[in-house]
Amino acid sequence: MQNLRTPYYLIDKPALQRNLDTIDYIRKHSGAKVLLALKCFATWSVFDQMRPHMDGTTSSSLYEVKLGYQKFGGETHAYSVAFADHEIDEVVANCDKIIFNSIAQLKRFEAAAQGKSMGLRLNPGISCAGFDLADPARAYSRLGEGDPDRILSVMDQLDGVMIHNNCENNDFARFDDLLGQIEQTYGTILKRLKWVSLGGGISFTAQGYPLDAFCQRLRRFAQDYGVQVYLEPGEAAVRHSTTLEVSVLDVGFNGKHLAVVDSSTEAHMLDLLIYRETAPVGDGKGEHEYMICGKTCLAGDIFGEGRFSAPLKVGDRISIGDAAGYTMVKKNWFNGVHMPSIAIKEADGSVRVVREFSFDDYVNSLS
């Protein structure tokens, strides 16, 4: 592996399989169908591995719905905060179900969507989200309809609803409580539907998540309302499956030992900046502490701090953890930093590169 040029995202298939096995367990014991949220992870080179363990994909745009239809197959759900007139025919042609974000969008496009199962995004006004930026129930939220009477007025057009109001929620009791409140407010509506998608953001692949209680809760919900339940995991499907492999370009000391690497948070792991998180780096037990820094000119381009068993030197390789979700789909050409390749590690340890980027890709992203 040392001969692969850094930086590259490295998807570890056995690690990904652990999440897929959990998803299989949930499908089997809850009866829920599970769709991959492409906005989190859309690296289609591993779709062959994921396909047998998931029921399809869900999307947030025309391009995602097309990618899901062409590259993943199975059930393809189309959702968007707003579809444009010029997109709608292609969206409809590439989906099994279409979920509108507002009643106005439903009315605008219901004729164009005839023949497809139609749904509406329901915003219950309550959520589990640590950041206002990512809170679908924030004040003045545009994400979905909340008023039960307004929703009841379009019931005849609806087969289902999608509710996405969890974000990185690893607390089953909180999920259970939120779902209970939704049942109280929207029970009459739920009883008249064929399917309900409970969205993503449920951290069911986190260590120690009470899977059996979760499955029972989903099963009970499905039975009480006579609906097919869907889950739409992004992060939970790919957590801990991928690293960003980088090399040290420079080391220094400015009150802390630091190592500059051939990658960047802003360009390659943007959510670290947006959500003020740090990535796992180092082995956690060595006695040499380093701040791992990106190579853009952004002052706060820092991946995180970690412990290493030996002093770092130029040329050393470092793995940055948790690099699957919201990374490859968000990478960009900021500072013209070389875009990481994408590589896949098989169960036998062999690694193959499935995509490389070059100067030409940078040039062609602009004009």
Ligand X SMILES: *Cc1c(COP(=O)(O)O)cnc(C)c1O
- Site of interaction with ligand X (CB under 6 A): 37, 39-40, 58, 79, 164, 167, 199-201, 232-236, 325
Cα(306)–Cα(57) distance, rounded to whole angstroms?
36
Q: Which two tokens stand for residue 228?
A: 């097919």
Cβ atoms of residues 121 and 145 within 8 Å: yes
CA nearest 64: which of 86, 81, 79? 79
Secondary structure letter of residue 335 according to DSSP: G
Cβ 122 to ligand X, closest distance in Å? Answer: 11
- 3-class secondary-structure state, position 291: strand
CA nearest 324: which of 77, 24, 64, 12? 12
Cβ 273 to ligand X, closest distance in Å? Answer: 17
Q: Which residue has the tokens 């959510």?
A: 271
Between helix 211-225 and helix 172-191 the angle, nearest 10°, is: 10
Left if phi > 0, otherwise alpha if psi is -120 to 50, otherwise beta: which for 140? left
Per DSSP (E only), the strands in 30-153 are 33-37, 56-58, 75-80, 97-100, 117-121
Cβ atoms of residues 30 and 229 within 8 Å: yes
Q: Which two tokens stand for residue 251?
A: 């080391």
Cβ 234 to ligand X, closest distance in Å? Answer: 2
By beta-carbon proximity to ligand X, the closer residue of 231 and 318 is: 231
- 3-class secondary-structure state, position 277: coil
By beta-carbon proximity to ligand X, the closer residue of 37 and 260 is: 37
Cβ 170 to ligand X, closest distance in Å? Answer: 11
Cα(1)–Cα(15) distance, rounded to whole angstroms?
18
By beta-carbon proximity to ligand X, the closer residue of 168 and 301 is: 168
Cβ 345 to ligand X, closest distance in Å? Answer: 22
By beta-carbon proximity to ligand X, the closer residue of 80 and 264 is: 80
By beta-carbon proximity to ligand X, the closer residue of 128 and 291 is: 128
By beta-carbon proximity to ligand X, the closer residue of 128 and 343 is: 128
By beta-carbon proximity to ligand X, the closer residue of 68 and 233 is: 233
Cβ 201 to ligand X, closest distance in Å? Answer: 4
Cβ 249 to ligand X, closest distance in Å? Answer: 32
